[in-house]
Structure 1
Amino acid sequence: MEIVILAAVIAVLALAAIAGLVVSGRKKKAAGSRDTRTTTAPPAEPHLGEDAETRLEEPRRTIEEVGLPEAETPGAVAEPEAAPAPVAPEIETPEPTAGRLVRLRTRLSRSQNALGKGLLTLLSREHLDEDTWEEVEDTLLAADVGVAPTQELVERLRERVKVLGTRTPEELRGLLRDELLTLVGPDEDRTVHTETRGAVDRPGVVLVVGVNGTGKTTTTGKLGRVLVADGKSVVLGAADTFRAAAADQLQTWGERVGARTVRGPEGGDPASVAFDAVKEGTDEGADVVLIDTAGRLHTKTGLMDELGKVKRVVEKQGPVDEVLLVLDATTGQNGLVQARVFAEVVDITGIVLTKLDGTAKGGIVVAVQRELGVPVKLVGLGEGADDLAPFEPEAFVDALIGD
């Protein structure tokens, strides 16, 4: 009997042990699968009354002091803000034209005096033999003086040096200056004629022509500044209707000095624009009308004929007072070919040489005058707005030979 009771007790203890192991395993499994993500607690509710951490120090407002929102009118539409008025460009005061070339002499001499220095060096040799005179000729030809003017200058120099005998540097400089000045032509009429010829009830008309790339439109704008600086009222005619933005470029130049620009549709008839420019200049009582024509290659017959048409249409209101041909000084002898063709289509009355500060070939001044029989009237000596100067032979020659 005791044995049976003991076996029962052992069985109960065994069952209890097994049950304990099962429960312990389940607890461990539950602990291992616990969520470890961090959760932010919601913000605590603010305390009220005496439980608040800080109290407001501002006094309470009465209901009379609290403004109520204004009631919107039914159907009311908010007015759009007015667009800012366009700002008119500031009118500039161009630099006076008197003495411009003298002021720019230093800039000109930096690139031009290679000609003068070369000639002075050759003429300073103790013995001037035939080889030396050939070098003098080569120096002049390299500067684009031209064959005929070079031969004339060398002959005069040889005669004067022979008579002079002893040659000091000062004597040589004076000798060379005199001969170059004679070659350039100090007595030529270099005035840009803007006065009315014929009818007195219209402005003077200046036609600006030239090939592409010579700076023609820029020159027209700069010439407008020159005339405004001289006290004249100017109207610009944008007759270059084929080059994109040419009219915009010219109008910008005009706005800077208060000059009106007459323009037409892109690709329109340039003769019509030129006619309208003269007409509006007459109606406004302007002093001068500057007409910028389309650049064209001198080898294109159709374009050159169109240029002649522009001049003929303008002349229905009166004669053209000045026809300026814009040439790039760096093109050298090729510029003379261009000049000849333009002179056959329109009567050139004056030359504008641009980019004269970028080349040592200042002799092109002599060559182009000799070729066309018309004077150089204006020279461009830089990119600045006031770097277009009336041509002054004395200042130019002084820049050639240097100090």
Structure 2
Amino acid sequence: MGTETDNDGVVPQYDPDAPELRPLLIRALRDDGFKALCRGESRSNTEISTLTSYTVMVGFGLGVASVLADWLDIGILAWLGLLAVACLVLALIGVWVGVQAAAALLVLAWFVLAAGQVLQSDHDLLATVVWPFAVVAAVLWIVRRHRLTTVARTSPLLLAVTITILLIPLFTDDLWRAADDLGLRHLGLLAAVTILPLLLSLAHRLRAEVGGVLSRATTEILAARHAAAERAGERILRLLEDDDRNRESEKLAEQLGEVYGDTVSVEHAQRIEAALLRPLRRQVVRRLLVTTFGLLVSVTLYLYVLAWILVPIGVSAEWLGEPASTTTISLLNGEFAVPLGGYVSVAGLLGIVATAVMLAFATTEDRYAGDVTTAVLYAPLRDGMTIALPYQALKDSSADVPAR
């Protein structure tokens, strides 16, 4: 580490080749959707092994529990209990013998049970062996890429629309009869003609605001460098295992404090904006699509629960002319008749309307527009810039160091 002298004496100069910080910043940027900034950077073995172990080992565990549940023909609660027992046994083996022995035993058990599934004449291989890996991969994709963050940020707006506008129509028989006559194709067409035009309008406005939001986020970050360094530290520490997190937290916090205090500047933000403006404009459209779909699904489920609670099956039978079909779910030593048919149609219809109304408010009403812009555009870009600025500073500093 070199030094430079100022009026106060000798001040340590940050080493741009510090190996601990830059790979973590790259991993965080990729997880946060800023991968275009670090294109060409190699993936660390730690990152690859972490992704692989999460997907494969958890998939093996769920597969073992699912095969045993299939053979024993048990319900969901017993399946969860079986999974908990399996996790406890593996944890004890890991403590007494070693983690590698526990992992090897899990893999061996999965292959034995998978072979048994294949040899059975009535096996359900997809449901018990294949789906766990698909589920784990999907959950990992959602969690690591923060796909549900904007849905959580905007869902309170949708809840207000649902309660104030659509709760009363839920009790009208004409709505139930009309919804019951609609098929999936009609609901899809309704979503296309009500949601898509509003999405296009909102996406066009948000794309145009990307540059201004980046500048605003940069100004706020540079005005509060210490707080930004703390947020960046919290973000990258989540990428580490517990032992590494406890050991490296002070060192990483010190390094980030030095970068933010002495190195990060407006010029780095300008380079980031030049590199990311077009990718971020494409990304905001994808994020808006994912957010809209997540809101549509969540509000539809919410309206379905409301319809199930507030409208008895006997009342809906009078409105529809026949009782709604039901399916039975066993839970907590009891059985529940879950209504389908008209309940699903009504929830789907009102869910589409609620989503369209919220998008319309976000396009025309200043309050909704500001909240949606903050959730979909400003907050993700601010969080990404908090990581991107120190990365760009390290990258530029490394490029300035002459080769030895």
TM-score by length of 2: 0.25
Instruction: Name the structure with the higher helix share.
Output: 2
TM-score by length of 1: 0.25
Q: Which has the higher contact order (CA 8 A, sep 6+)?
A: 2
